[in-house]
Structure 1
Amino acid sequence: MLDIEKRNVLILAATQALFQTVSVMVITLSGIVGWMLAPNKSLATLPIALMMVAVAATMIPASLFMQRYGRKAGFLLGAALGGVAGLLAAVAIWQENFSLFVAANMLVGSYQAFAQYYRFAAADAASAAFKSRAISWVIAGGVIAAVAGPNLVRYTQNVGTVPSALTYLSMVALSMLAIMLLSRLALPAASASEVQGTARPLPAIMKQPIFLTALAGSTIGSAVMMLVMTATPLAMQICGQPIGAAATVIQWHVLGMFAPSFFTGNLIQRFGVLTIMTGGVALLLGHVAIALSGIAYLNFLSGLILLGMGWNFLFVGGTTLLTEAYRPSERAKVQATHDFLMYIAISIATFSSGSLLSTFGWRAVNLAVLPMLALALLMIVALGVKQKRERKKHQDGLLLSNS
């Protein structure tokens, strides 16, 4: 029988898979549905952009809700919002109501805000030795989404008299299944140190280089990924690729995002978190090189796979590094602040995606990520140098005390 630690992680991984399936379906289709419903085609990616705004706006309220009522209650509420979102989106398509479709996508964002805490719930409930693997296992749930999401879009999009309506209705079923699984979650109660421990002011925590580097890794990795991924289906359509081709590219991209999670935790344990984060930057630079070299189907496919892998290394690495930046009594506010700032950056990137693509083209979308990647690399290297100096100073101190 599985111990409670691993059982909780597997439940969280399964519900992550269900949530990510919903997310992949929205990313794959909402830009295209937005293009059909929007009164102005420049607003085509507005549903996805406002979904990200809703994530950011819900992050802190979600954290406060779960601090008061528990993470399980919050996760159940989030999944319920996902079910309502699917229903509203189908009605919006049927009525050709762009505003209602935008509102439905924003509810998906609220679902995502609660789901973002799945990885933190796994990390906080895991032993120190299991922590990085617990994070990886939960994020690896997205592998199922990589297969299920695009295929659900492909096989439901043209079923019925109202195209795409059934796709969004299927999100209701996925959300209900998530609720069934989450009802079996058994997370440990808050420890005494978490409830009564001394907590530092948030600005003091945020000034730490380790916090800033964790934030830079996960935020820049996610912003770069969303900027490019949001533009990809439309860019492929503009380049004459069929919707099915875009769905396949997104499917392989999502596999690139989540499949490495089966071994990212082990790589972090073996080589160190900063080394893996540096590898993430290198993979994202590889995507840029491929994207700038051409607009053929294989350019989109191979580039988006590297984009996903680079995101994984930076996101898992950043999340793991963040757990070293706070005490148990500080975790709720630090986790909420980290993800709130991350989704502000993602929202800006998503908003910029459509206008960058329509005004300047696919090449400009990819060139725009280079300054962000340079900043992430600089911060990772700077923290590595700082930690190396601290270790050397500590070793010199031990030598002096023993002499």
Structure 2
Amino acid sequence: MVLQKESVKALDEQTATLQSYICSPEKQKSLYKRTLFVVSISQIFGGAGLAAGVTVGALLAQQMLGTEAFAGLPSAILTLGSAVAALFVGKLSQRYGRRTGLSAGFIVGGLGAIGVIIAAIINSAYLLFPSLLVYGAGTATNLQARYAGTDLANSKQRATAISMTMVFTTFGAVAGPNLVNVMGNFALSIGVPSLAGPFILAATAYILAGVVLFIMLRPDPLVIARMLEATNQEPIDKGHLTATEHTEDKKGIMVGATIMVLTQIVMVAIMTMTPVHMRHHGHSLGAVGLVIGFHIGAMYLPSLITGFLVDKLGRTTMAIASGTTLLLAGLLSAFAPGDSIVLLIIALSLLGLGWNFGLISGTALIVDSTKTSTRAKTQGSVDVLIALSGAAGGASSGMIVAGSSYLTLSLIGGILSLLLIPVVIWSRGSEK
């Protein structure tokens, strides 16, 4: 009986706390800023975690299987795991809030990285692939975290809010590939294969990201946003509070999803086989890490500028810029000499930048087109499509290179990016 009373009292106190945010615009603005800060901290760790699979996943599989035909398989498997995780993280977030969904996703991803380390130690491809599947949860969660910053953002600042959380991923994501040699040496010093070293960093980083969100993301921004929408409150400060759109725009969701799916396919396909392409031309593991580091930096570092441009110039304008940039990246990747690190850095940087344009403009369209009562679930479903498209790009990339060449793969990617232009032209009538 005493425990029941204490439970009821705690619930009442929690409800009162949440209500205090509904009645206080100042508290809402403070929560908006704190949410961006907490998510940004988690993104630093998350960025370091995702870099491991990108940098050495294909090389680890190639070493275990003895062929490059399946070198794209790790990327495909971890993005398939990302697809499954995106669905569950979205549903968890919708039901229990961002804090529960995001922290659970990161911790599961960390456990997957531990599985990869064990697989490398015992040289088991049978353990490697299911572990990569679980590791993909971290990638999905790192991507979905970008939505948390938009829950209390006005429609005119959503892309900027997305970019503010994404830009902090740069610190971890750039550091990760450039720590390949350091972590490889550390792994060897403790009796673990060098290629498993980056996954030691990934396991630690993902688990830390989950802990940060679980402890610090209180009260939950999505819960507050839903309460604001339920009470039909108009925002007082147009720069910070929740917009009050209550209708769902299916066309906007379709277009936003298509933009992100196409950019994901092109980016993952070319990125996955670049390390293998470089190793064929005699580049060291450190050089591979340098190129991938620039690539991932370009994926996230320009986010603040991109977010501003998406809010000012429009979603579809920046989506067209995405397609154009990806085309240039594909052409340069195709025709750059394999021994030129400089040109490969430029090509992979353009690849990351084009992806950045597409992700932020597409994400903003998704947020614009959904309502808070279904937003997290819809976002999770869209991210499933993104992950599956990445899986398709990763799986096919190795087969294309094995059957033809890296040049062919890059040209296909560049041409595919042109499909963005008719999609966004069709969508112009629905842009807000």
Q: TM-score w.r.t. structure 1 length?
A: 0.88
Contact 1:5–1:125 under 8 Å retained in 2: yes
| Cα root mean square deviation, aligned | 2.4
1:46 counterpart = 2:76: no
Q: Which residue in the other structure is 2:102 paired with? A: 75
Contact 1:281–1:377 under 8 Å retained in 2: yes
Contact 1:293–1:299 under 8 Å retained in 2: no
Take 2:47 and 2:373, find their aligned partners in 1: how far apart are those partners?
30
Q: 1:184 aligns with which of 209, 216, 227?
A: 216
Cα offset for 1:271?
1.7
Contact 1:256–1:308 under 8 Å retained in 2: yes
1:310 counterpart = 2:354: yes
- 1:43-86 deviations in whole A, cap 9, x for unaligned? 23322210011111222222222222322112221122122122
Secondary structure, aligned partner of 2:353? helix
- Assess, with a 3 A threshold, how the Cα gap between structure 1 residues 371 and 293 changes in structure 2: closer, same or farther: closer
Alignment of 1:92-107 (within 5 A): 92-107=119-134
Q: Which residue in the other structure is 2:420 paired with? A: 376
Which segments of 5 or more consecutive residues in structure 1 lack a partner in the other structure? 392-403
Contact 1:256–1:309 under 8 Å retained in 2: yes
Take 1:302 and 1:215, find their aligned partners in 2: how far apart are those partners?
27
Q: 1:108 aligns with which of 135, 150, 169?
A: 135
Contact 2:105–2:210 under 8 Å retained in 1: no
Q: 1:143 aligns with which of 167, 170, 193?
A: 170
Cα offset for 1:228?
0.5
Contact 2:180–2:286 under 8 Å retained in 1: no
Further displaced range: 28-37 or 85-94 = 85-94
Alignment of 1:214-253 (within 5 A): 214-253=256-295
Cα offset for 1:293?
2.4
Cα offset for 1:387?
5.2
Take 1:331 and 1:251, find their aligned partners in 2: how far apart are those partners?
32
Q: Which residue in the other structure is 1:172 paired with? A: 203
Take 2:149 and 2:171, find their aligned partners in 1: how far apart are those partners?
19
Alignment of 1:187-198 (within 5 A): 187-188=220-221, 189-190=223-224, 191-192=226-227
Q: Which residue in the other structure is 1:11 paired with? A: 38
Q: Which residue in the other structure is 1:86 paired with? A: 113
Cα offset for 1:312?
0.5
Contact 2:46–2:206 under 8 Å retained in 1: yes
- 1:209-243 deviations in whole A, cap 9, x for unaligned? x2222112111111111011001100111122222
Take 1:174 and 1:337, find their aligned partners in 2: how far apart are those partners?
25
Take 2:372 and 2:147, find their aligned partners in 1: how far apart are those partners?
12
Cα offset for 1:163?
2.4
2:335 is matched by which residue type in structure 1? S
Take 2:79 and 2:160, find their aligned partners in 1: how far apart are those partners?
27
Secondary structure, aligned partner of 1:116? helix
Cα offset for 1:344?
1.6
Q: Which residue in the other structure is 2:312 paired with? A: 270
Cα offset for 1:39?
5.6
- Assess, with a 3 A threshold, how the Cα gap between structure 1 residues 175 and 59 changes in structure 2: closer, same or farther: closer
Take 1:332 and 1:170, find their aligned partners in 2: how far apart are those partners?
29
Cα offset for 1:97?
0.8
Alignment of 1:359-398 (within 5 A): 359-384=403-428, 386=429
1:158 is matched by which residue type in structure 2? N
- Assess, with a 3 A threshold, how the Cα gap between structure 1 residues 83 and 293 changes in structure 2: closer, same or farther: closer
Cα offset for 1:40?
4.8
Take 1:108 and 1:351, find their aligned partners in 2: how far apart are those partners?
17
> Percent same amino acid among aligned pairs?
25
Contact 1:81–1:108 under 8 Å retained in 2: yes
Q: 2:193 aligns with which of 146, 163, 167?
A: 163
Take 1:174 and 1:326, find their aligned partners in 2: how far apart are those partners?
31
1:17 is matched by which residue type in structure 2? I
Contact 2:108–2:135 under 8 Å retained in 1: yes
Take 2:207 and 2:333, find their aligned partners in 1: how far apart are those partners?
39
Q: TM-score w.r.t. structure 2 length?
A: 0.82
Take 1:61 and 1:75, find their aligned partners in 2: how far apart are those partners?
10
Count of matched residue positions in the alignment of Structure 1 and Structure 2 = 383
Cα offset for 1:192?
4.4
1:364 is matched by which residue type in structure 2? T
- Assess, with a 3 A threshold, how the Cα gap between structure 1 residues 194 and 113 changes in structure 2: closer, same or farther: farther
Cα offset for 1:128?
3.1
- Assess, with a 3 A threshold, how the Cα gap between structure 1 residues 212 and 180 changes in structure 2: closer, same or farther: closer
Secondary structure, aligned partner of 1:162? coil
1:119 counterpart = 2:146: yes
Cα offset for 1:141?
1.6
Q: 2:384 aligns with which of 317, 340, 350?
A: 340
Take 2:300 and 2:321, find their aligned partners in 1: how far apart are those partners?
16
Contact 2:256–2:365 under 8 Å retained in 1: yes
- Assess, with a 3 A threshold, how the Cα gap between structure 1 residues 144 and 282 changes in structure 2: closer, same or farther: same
Cα offset for 1:249?
0.4
1:214 is matched by which residue type in structure 2? G
Which segments of 5 or more consecutive residues in structure 2 lack a partner in the other structure? 1-26, 233-244
1:140 is matched by which residue type in structure 2? V
